[in-house]
Structure 1
Amino acid sequence: MSDPSRHFLVVSFDGLRPDLIGPELTPNLWRLKAVAVTLANHRTIYPSETRSAFPSLITGATTDRHGMVGNKYVDRTVQPPRYVDTSDAVLLRRLDVESGGHLYSAPSLGEILARSGRSLAVLATNTPGTTRLFHHKAEDFGHVRLSGHFREACTPDDVLAEIEARFIPLTPAPPKAEPDRVGQDWITSAFLDFVWPKYRPDVTILSYGEPDVTSHFHGTAAEATRSIIAHCDHQFGRVFDWWEAEGRRAGVQIFAISDHGHITGHTRASVVDSLRAAGFSPGAAPAPGVDVVTVPGQVGALYLADPDEAKIARLVATIATESWCGPVFTRAKDEVNGIAPGSLSNRLVFANHFRAPDVAFSFRADDTIDPFGLVGGTFYDNDRRAGLGLHGGLHPKELAAVGIVAGSAFPAPGRISTVPSGICDVAPTMLRLLGLAVPPSMTGRVLGEVAALSPSVHSVREDVFEARLGTYVQTLRRVHVEAACYVSGGWVG
């Protein structure tokens, strides 16, 4: 079934919950589902953050393999240690050069395709850093990488110049509280009117940075968020019309995905205040006098200045008493437990990379119903009001992701597949269908059951892990399909 003449178009909707897709709000995605296979049990990775998930998309691997352990992390390979914000495209380029080309610890899709004389094009309205992470070496291979707003993420220069001269110049990103419509229009037009006609990339990633940002500032199903979801769906409708008129005949296969879902923040907390009350000296970045760095974000990442086992155990014991504390992970003591009592091994969630924090945790989440009628609520630590969208942790609605596949490689249109799948499976499936080898670094599996490459899935099983410390009890669930493993949820209480 492999066919090297095929092309792939991956269309991503950042932060879109699968249960928000419907005939009224997203008629074009609904239209796609009618001619596609829907992956009804599709998930992202842990942490469920954008700049961990998209690296998993393009490396086909979990965070322990590719090394993007969070949107932000502490780099302890240099002295003094430094705080890294991966939204910065210029910084990411410098880190890749400084490391001898090892920003990722696993080969990326763009590198793999380039070695076979194939191409990857990226058009995105995410942050500059996220746009670069889709293809961090695009300039080295002469591949197209375009941002809807940020010149520092664009390459080659002459491609951007020609698009701006022929169509429309880049515009600055709107304030975060305003939905981004112009950027979604720009990347859609750039793909349809220029990149596809001129270059016909083997693989294209078209990444709409919404509804994620609007959800963070307005709420997961607020009027403004629903409006930008509808707008992105309208832009996708232009792509779908092109596909039906031209792309399908040209061998284009479509993956429609999201990188994570959202749940709603209901109770504000302060990790820094809790640690300070327990006698720690926390800070947001490494600095003299800071004994634990609390990396900001909805997934907790704690880096100790002196990460010995006793200090890690004290840190876990401190946060486990807090009402806001959800599942907690530390480096492995054995196959299940972390080195700190009450913690699970970070290997269970595939987070055991050298960049990983000493203590990783999620905020406690639950199945409360938010003001929009959606399941999923959580404690949170930021300066925004309650009722806004959040992600990063282990609630099933954070881990749930859109997965829809269409094209000649995916027969049985309109079918719903309930076999578990995940974001790491996209790259190996595309490579197999392009007739290229799947490297051993990829932890994802080829979706043979939907791509007619294998008649059925032979083995699906679940495992459950638990850890306790006094009244603190945490549970982690995973599901295995053949050799692939997906994290399906983590809870406390």
Structure 2
Amino acid sequence: MKILIVSFDGLRPDLISPELTPNIERVQRSGTMLSRHRTVYPSETRVAFPSLVTGATSSKHGMVGNKYVDRKAVPQLYVDTADARLVDRLNRESNGGLMTAPTLGEILHKAGKSLAVLATNTPGTTRLFNHQAEAFGHLRLSGHFPEACSPNDLLDQAEADLGPLPPAPQGEPDTDGQVWITSAFLDFVWPKLEPDVTIISYGEPDTTSHFHGTGAAATRDIISFCDAQFGRVLDWWDAEGRAAGVQIIIASDHGHITAHSRVSVIEELKADGFNPGPAPEAGVDLVVVPGQVGALYLTDRSENNLGRVVEALTERPWCGPIFTAPRNAVEGLARGSFASSLVFADHDRAPDVYFSFRADDVVDEFGLAGITWYDNARRPGLGVHGGLHPKELAAVGIVAGAAFRDAGQDSDIPSGICDFAPTVLHLLGVPIPVSMTGRVLREVLQNAADLPAIRFEPEVFETGLNGYRQILRRICVDQTTYLEGGSAASNDIAEAAE
């Protein structure tokens, strides 16, 4: 048996349609759509894809954000995990401790099996799919960046067969990279290597959504383009892959919602007497990590100072749910905040304060539900993600092949991105490590009819401070918990909504 995981970065499940994505629809018709599939928090690429390959949340694997501050470094280090060379250096300097949970690459290598990665994401993201591929002799190919590729001799062979890696476009839809990695799989990787597990990660429509808008014509065009490239893979699967025992998993790492009003968190917190900055340096007492996920690192980490920051946030109309280190199972150390453990984001690398920007269900200009405040230099109307709006958490999950139910139906049992790795290992007969927080998706396997009924239980948590109120919704399936969404409002707004 072989496994092929195909990911479309930032694809919202509600953008899958017969007109826009006919090839994804082909798989859905022959397999099973996971209709209540969710990602992790923060809903960022370089948190979610590590969750895919570790089968665990950031509390286990340690990739706590696209960017974070390494407090253990001297001096403290601002880490942008988009940088493949930095990711590699940090892993070597920590003796392989960059990821604090075992990955598919490591697990498969120990079991005598192989993992191949082909991706058009950032170089750092590409490396994180199998960050120790060099040590295992596994193939990792970027559609653009040589520094993310390994081993060099196979890259040289691939470029000799397929042509050189195309340059990465700047802010425009990426077509050439998607063609290159698709051809690399069909004409080079599968014929020469036949990996046990292959990950093909199309870096779109994420980039185009960020620069054009989640439902914009350019974004829909690149979704259609990526679907057509996947169609080439699907044609191979129908002609050859099925007979070779290849199972298909289709995924995305998060959804997108639309930015409506910009705020500068740094400027706002200056008004409260802090001296914030985007990275650790002399005189900065509060690092505001750039990005759509609010991640604050304090120099003075006292509970009093933490409470000061959180209270300032609760008074802002743009602030959504807030998380600090756990005081108990529900509440964070700072009054009014949730415990970060509620969203499985309590790793020791995590910031002192996580927060999401306030979002709601207003329909945007493209007819898609979900808009939010944001903090970046781009114009309103563009796609963002990272927070707890249900459309940010909603991710694509489709499975097909002889190992799965041949149903063409939806599964309404909640599932998540952490479930793919344990399911893959189960199918390959490889032991599942205790570090994995996800579960085997037994309900969509061929023997699902013989299983007892699966029960799930919703959970709702509330807390707040003064006029600020926040709600977090989760759902439990056996021993696995998924995030359904989180929101915040002032009491007057909340009461009006009720």
Residue 319 of structure 2 is aligned to residue 325 of structure 1 = yes
Residue 97 of structure 2 is aligned to residue 102 of structure 1 = yes
Kindly state the Cα deviation for residue 452 of structure 1 after the two structures are TM-superposed: 3.3
Alignment partner of 2:246 out of 248, 252, 255? 252
Aligned residues: 487
The residue identity in structure 2 corresponding to 1:346 is S
8 Å Cα contact 1:449/1:457 also seen in 2? no
8 Å Cα contact 2:255/2:385 also seen in 1? yes
Alignment partner of 1:206 out of 188, 200, 203? 200
TM-score (norm 2): 0.97
User: In the TM superposition, what are the counterparts of 1:3-42 in structure 2 within 5 Å?
Assistant: 6-42=1-37
Residue in structure 1 matched with residue 432 of structure 2 by the alignment: 438
Q: Give the Cα separation in 1 of the matches to 2:185 and 2:140.
A: 11
Q: Give the Cα separation in 1 of the matches to 2:337 and 2:446.
A: 41
Secondary structure of the 1:341 match is coil
Residue in structure 2 matched with residue 460 of structure 1 by the alignment: 456
8 Å Cα contact 2:70/2:77 also seen in 1? yes
The residue identity in structure 2 corresponding to 1:484 is T
TM-score (norm 1): 0.98
Alignment partner of 2:235 out of 232, 241, 248? 241
Kindly state the Cα deviation for residue 453 of structure 1 after the two structures are TM-superposed: 4.9
Residue 471 of structure 2 is aligned to residue 475 of structure 1 = yes
8 Å Cα contact 2:400/2:406 also seen in 1? no
Residue in structure 2 matched with residue 304 of structure 1 by the alignment: 298
Residue 473 of structure 2 is aligned to residue 491 of structure 1 = no
Residue 80 of structure 2 is aligned to residue 80 of structure 1 = no
8 Å Cα contact 2:2/2:246 also seen in 1? yes
Q: Give the Cα separation in 1 of the matches to 2:279 and 2:54.
A: 28
Q: Give the Cα separation in 2 of the matches to 1:78 and 1:143.
A: 30
Secondary structure of the 2:11 match is coil
User: In the TM superposition, what are the counterparts of 1:138-157 in structure 2 within 5 Å?
Assistant: 138-157=133-152
Q: Give the Cα separation in 1 of the matches to 2:189 and 2:454.
A: 41
Kindly state the Cα deviation for residue 273 of structure 1 after the two structures are TM-superposed: 1.0
Kindly state the Cα deviation for residue 78 of structure 1 after the two structures are TM-superposed: 1.5
Residue in structure 1 matched with residue 494 of structure 2 by the alignment: none
8 Å Cα contact 1:299/1:361 also seen in 2? yes
The residue identity in structure 1 corresponding to 2:358 is R
Q: Give the Cα separation in 1 of the matches to 2:161 and 2:53.
A: 30
8 Å Cα contact 1:265/1:387 also seen in 2? yes
8 Å Cα contact 1:330/1:340 also seen in 2? yes
The residue identity in structure 1 corresponding to 2:232 is R
Residue 410 of structure 2 is aligned to residue 416 of structure 1 = yes
Residue in structure 1 matched with residue 222 of structure 2 by the alignment: 228
Alignment partner of 1:273 out of 253, 267, 271? 267
8 Å Cα contact 2:38/2:395 also seen in 1? yes
- The superposition leaves residues 372-416 of structure 1 with CA deviations (integer Å, 9 ceiling, x where unpaired) of 000000000011111000000000000000000000010233021
Poorly superposed stretches of 4+, deviation over 2 Å: 456-459
Residue 88 of structure 2 is aligned to residue 93 of structure 1 = yes
Q: Give the Cα separation in 2 of the matches to 1:161 and 1:347.
A: 45
- The superposition leaves residues 101-142 of structure 1 with CA deviations (integer Å, 9 ceiling, x where unpaired) of 111010000000000110000000000000000000001011
Q: Give the Cα separation in 2 of the matches to 1:450 and 1:184.
A: 29
The residue identity in structure 2 corresponding to 1:151 is P
Matched residues, percent identical? 63
8 Å Cα contact 1:26/1:230 also seen in 2? yes
Secondary structure of the 1:449 match is helix
Secondary structure of the 2:444 match is coil
8 Å Cα contact 1:9/1:205 also seen in 2? yes
- The superposition leaves residues 180-202 of structure 1 with CA deviations (integer Å, 9 ceiling, x where unpaired) of 00000000000000100110000
The residue identity in structure 1 corresponding to 2:173 is P
Q: Give the Cα separation in 1 of the matches to 2:160 and 2:233.
A: 22
Q: Give the Cα separation in 2 of the matches to 1:43 and 1:324.
A: 24
Structure 1: gaps spanning 5 or more residues: 1-5
